[in-house]
Structure 1
Amino acid sequence: MEQSLREDKIGVLLINVGTPEGLGYFKLCQYLAEFLSDKRIIELWSLLWYPILYVFVLNVHYKKSKLAYLRVWDNERKVFPLRFYTSAQAQKLRASFSKLGVDVDWAMRYGNPSIKSVTNSMIVRGCTRILMFPLYPQYSAVTTATVNDVFFSILKKRRFIPAIRTISSYAANSVYIDALASSVLKHFSTIDFIPDVILVSYHGIPKNYVERGDPYLTECKKTTTALRRRLNMDEKSLIMTFQSRFGLGKWLKPYTERTVKELAHKGIQSLAVLTPGFVSDCLETLDEVCHKTADLFYKNGGKNFTHIPCLNDSEEGMSVIEHLVRMELLGWL
């Protein structure tokens, strides 16, 4: 049956970007291919892009990606960090709403558990109202919109469609900004130096995506401005940058790696990097920032480097997720 008649539930679906199922050639390339064939990610004509992707890009990036994922693999938990934290966030949110009978689940845009399998499962379990929550604080077509694309394409194939609400972004939400500020101050209390500069590094996107209407740059500026006010810092002590470039085109600037080199050359000895666009620590934070960016800073004369962890499933992080969910469920609960 399309819809379970046993219960009438409210569901909350947390969605993040995803991780590969394994690091063998097939599984990793399968994940990379799903990601890089998304037309929201690479806006090239398929007949032009697919031969490049499948003949060159996957073969070139397989070894690099495998090494990077190996560096962030959690040997203790036997899981990739992003998968662990997304599952933990759902588990803790489920506990917070247990007395209200809210069905909380999680999925990944790329890889598993897939949005399709989890959405269909929630409907079968009796969810007639679903809050779909892409875990991206700053809206972009390459993140939030592509999650919406997949989610609503699944519903197009069903006869019964639940009532749907979504969370688009929360770039300047006061609870989110307070949580970020608290995480910064809490982390600083655990290190033995005072950073000269905080670098606020966001995942980059191609510059022409913004020129064609993607509000992502504005969203990042909202978060950065609010965080400066909350921490009483100026543009020189808290700097916004963009990381994770792919390809040869122009992406949003200033680039994180270039800024790190410039700061070290200018005599900045102590640097902290905050990555507020990532709800959970992942490849881009644990490898690109903690490994590559740190090495770059040290090689160019820097002395002290620290990465401020993402909010993850911390008390501050869960306060943000729960606050936003409770706001969006008003009228349903």
Structure 2
Amino acid sequence: MQAKRPAPKDNDHPTLPAQRVGILLANLGTPDNYDYWSMRRYLSEFLSDQRVIDYSPWLWQPLLQAIILTKRPFTSGAAYKSIWNHAEGESPLMTITKAQTAKIQTAMKARYGDDVMVDFCMRYGNPSTKSKVAAMTAAGCTKILFFPLYPQYAGATSATACDAFFAALSREKWQPIARVVEPYFERPDYIEALAASIEMAYSKIETRPDILICSYHGLPVRYLMEGDPYHCQCQKTTRLLKERLGWKDTEIMTTFQSKFGPEEWLQPYTVEEVARQAEAGNKNIAICAPAFSADCIETLEEINEEIKESFEEAGGEQFTYVPCLNDDDLHIKALTATIEENLKGWCD
């Protein structure tokens, strides 16, 4: 149980809420809408992050603001429009993150009662990390567990989420004590949830796919050579998944998607590999995206439309996309167990 702040004795002190522990889930982000200006604001914030694009701002910003952001909001907006949750007026990533948060809130309420507060933020766009940290502090959270929802660590995802979190903490008069959840790519319960989703998808396919492609978001090779562990953690995720499924090496492989810019990125590139598979005679493939905790533009549009099209144009016949874990019960169970382990000493 959390200790409670004593009630102030004098009128010259503010009224303080009871102490609580905050659990702040974090994901990449989403534009507020798919119109030009919403997309431009979102892309400008995202592509201006030097964790994502680490070129000199003196060179990069003129190119970004004067050239890239005059055209890219139109193409990206069209992509978002094709997957948009029009009923709720939001992106699928927002819808899914809300569902994940609601289920985790229910689990935490059952375990800890009112001593914990669960919410989510986005690194880019809304709700911002800054706004959610401020809200948690105002609600009495003197301790915050920050949980970047990226199974594998990358400087362009996990690290920049933490940058925003600690920057938000720096603005608080009474700064909460903080913990950050480490990457969970090798947790047995996460691998179990991933494997179960593959087995469920395969049980619904009449003819077993020739190969499962595990497609991870890519990074420049240079980042790997500079010490980013992402590539190795992705490879280990695939290996652990293969071992849990009991498959042969020829039944599963790792690829990387979403290449951006002129540099060499981690390979093989998913969009090229699916075409090679089709040309080599593997006309029936399945693809999953273990680096994403929730379906988003990179899975629903890039994989399910662009990458699928590359496969079919090369002669592929059966393309099965296995959805991200989203708010699946096994996924929520794994996330909840991770949270509970990280709360030890705070709530137990």
TM-score (norm 2): 0.93
State whether structure 2 residue 310 is matched by structure 1 residue 284. no
C-alpha displacement of 1:4 = 6.6
Give 1:96 shift: 0.7
Shift of 1:236: 1.9
- Tell me how far apart the structure 1 counterparts of residues 105 and 192 of structure 2 sit (CA, whole Å): 23
Residue 29 (str. 1) matches residue 43 (str. 2)? no
Paired with 1:181 and 1:3, the residues of 2 have a C-alpha distance of: 52
Q: Partner of 1:329 in structure 2?
A: 343
Q: 1:119 to 1:3 in 2, by over 3 A?
A: farther
How far the C-alpha of 1:3 sits from its partner, in A, is 8.9
Name the counterpart of 1:17.
Answer: 28
Distance 1:324 1:2, change over 3 A: farther
* 1:222 paired residue number: 236
2:23 is paired with a residue of what secondary structure?
A: strand
Contact persistence 1:2–1:158 (CA under 8 A) = no
Aligned-partner SS, 1:110: strand
| Residues in 2 aligned to 1:225 and 1:114: alpha-carbon distance in whole angstroms | 35
SS of the residue aligned with 2:286? strand
Query: Does residue 127 in structure 1 map to residue 151 in structure 2?
Result: no
Residues 3 and 124, structure 1, Cα contact 8 Å, conserved in 2: no
Corresponding residue number in structure 1 for 2:325: 311
1:159-178 alignment, distance < 5 Å? 159-178=173-192
User: Does 1:108 find its partner at 2:119?
Assistant: no
Conserved in 2, the CA contact under 8 Å of 1:139 and 1:215? yes
> Closer, same or farther in 2 for the Cα pair 1:2/1:33, shift >3 Å?
farther
Partner of 2:131: 117
Aligned residue number for residue 8 of structure 2: none
Q: Choose which of 246, 252, 265 in structure 1 pairs with 2:260.
A: 246
The 1-side partners of 2:13 and 2:140 are apart by: 10
Given candidates 40, 44, 60, the residue that maps to 1:49 is 60
1:89 to 83, 100, 116: 100
Q: How many angstroms apart in 1 are the aligned matches of 2:161 and 2:295?
A: 19
Shift of 1:158: 2.0
Q: State the partner residue of 1:8.
A: 19
- 1:66 has 2:77 as partner: yes
Q: Normalised by the size of structure 1, how large is the TM-score? A: 0.97
Shifted more, 235-244 versus 195-204: the winner is 235-244
Q: Which of 91, 109, 119 lines up with 1:98 in the alignment?
A: 109
> What amino acid does structure 2 have at the position aligned with 1:66?
G
RMSD, matched Cα: 1.5
| Matching residue of 2:307 | 293
Residue 155 of structure 1: how far off its partner (Å): 1.4
Task: Check the 8 A contact 1:4/1:124 in 2, yes or no.
Answer: no
Distance 1:230 1:243 in 2: 24
Unaligned runs of 5+ in 1: none
Instruction: Give how far 1:61 is off.
Output: 1.1
Paired AA for residue 85 in structure 1: I
Distance 1:208 1:2, change over 3 A: farther
| One-letter amino acid of the structure 2 residue matched with residue 297 of structure 1 | F
Alpha carbons of structure 1 residues 149 and 3: separation in structure 2 relative to 1, 3 Å: farther
Aligned-partner Cα distance in 2 for 1:326–1:306 = 35
Alpha-carbon separation, structure 2, partners of 1:49 and 1:303: 41
C-alpha distance in structure 2 between counterparts of 1:184 and 1:77, whole Å:
29
Deviation at 1:271, TM superposition (A): 0.5
- Aligned residues of 2:191 and 2:241 also touching (Cα < 8 A): yes
Q: Secondary structure of 1:30's match? A: helix
Aligned mates of 1:252, 1:20 — CA distance in 2: 27
In structure 1, C-alpha distance between the alignment counterparts of 2:268 and 2:339, rounded to whole Å: 33
> In the alignment, is residue 155 of structure 1 matched against residue 169 of structure 2?
yes
- 1:224 & 1:177 partners in 2: Cα distance? 9
Question: What CA deviation, in whole Å up to 9, does each residue of 1:201-223 have, x standing for no partner?
Answer: 00000110110111111111111
